[in-house]
Amino acid sequence: MSASPERRRQLLDTAAAVFAAQGYDATTVRRIADAAGMLAGSLYYHFDSKDSIVEEILRGFLDELAGRYDTVLAAGLGPRETMRALVTESFREIDRHGPAVAIYQKESKTLAARERFAFLAASQSTFEQTWLTTLKDGVAAGEFRADLDIRLTYRFVRDTVWVAASWYRPDGRHSPEEIARQYLATVLDGIAAPDRSDHSPAPQG
């Protein structure tokens, strides 16, 4: 028996919340079934194992994030605007897939050691190159400071964006776009090259 797409999405959302709260090792199919209001045996009609559930959750999140990053890169924006768009899309993904983000943060290092989850390391490498290239292009274009340590800056940006999954609430006061704007105001003021107009001679007289 296969679930309708809507029902499957509901089950995956429920499972993601359980995995995020309990951790991968402590989560059982029974726990997920209980949270979904069904018998554990019934859940096996839809998924063949705990691994298949968490794999589908993580693949769905990462594939969507990759698609949105690709759209940003295809837009042909300058490095500064690309940075803005990447950060904004990241916060939107936290809004849409907060539990999946939490699972990825907590479990990906352990899961990636298993062949079934090799896609986690591949995704991380792709995302890393996206950010590093944007930062390098920004330095080369004079939009970001020439003295940036690119890799350290990438790690700072990555960690400070995705840690928001631990406190962000979809029903909170601020939208993901508003949080991104506030975040970018801080980050870009720190890494943007000075506006050349700021260094023009002061008028005399």
- Residue-wise pLDDT for 192-205, tens only, equals 666 655 544 544 54
Number of domains in the chain: 1
User: Rounded to two decimals, what is the model's pTM?
Assistant: 0.85
Rounded CA gap, 83 and 65, in Å?
15
In this structure, what CATH number is given to the domain that contains residue 94? Answer: 1.10.357.10
Within a domain: residue 24? no
State residue 188's pLDDT score. Answer: 85
Rounded CA gap, 96 and 11, in Å?
16
Q: Which two tokens stand for residue 189?
A: 């003021």
Within a domain: residue 138? yes
Query: Closest Cα to residue 191, out of 160, 161, 147?
Result: 147
Residues 114-172: tens digit of each pLDDT: 999 999 999 999 999 999 999 999 999 999 999 999 999 999 999 999 988 888 888 88
Residues 32-76: tens digit of each pLDDT: 999 999 988 889 889 999 999 999 999 999 999 999 999 999 999
State residue 202's pLDDT score. Answer: 47
| DSSP for residue 9 | H
Within a domain: residue 189? yes
Within a domain: residue 92? yes
Within a domain: residue 202? no
State residue 197's pLDDT score. Answer: 55
Residue 190 has pLDDT above 90, yes or no: no
The boundaries of the domain holding residue 128 are 50-194
Within a domain: residue 180? yes
Within a domain: residue 33? no
Within a domain: residue 99? yes
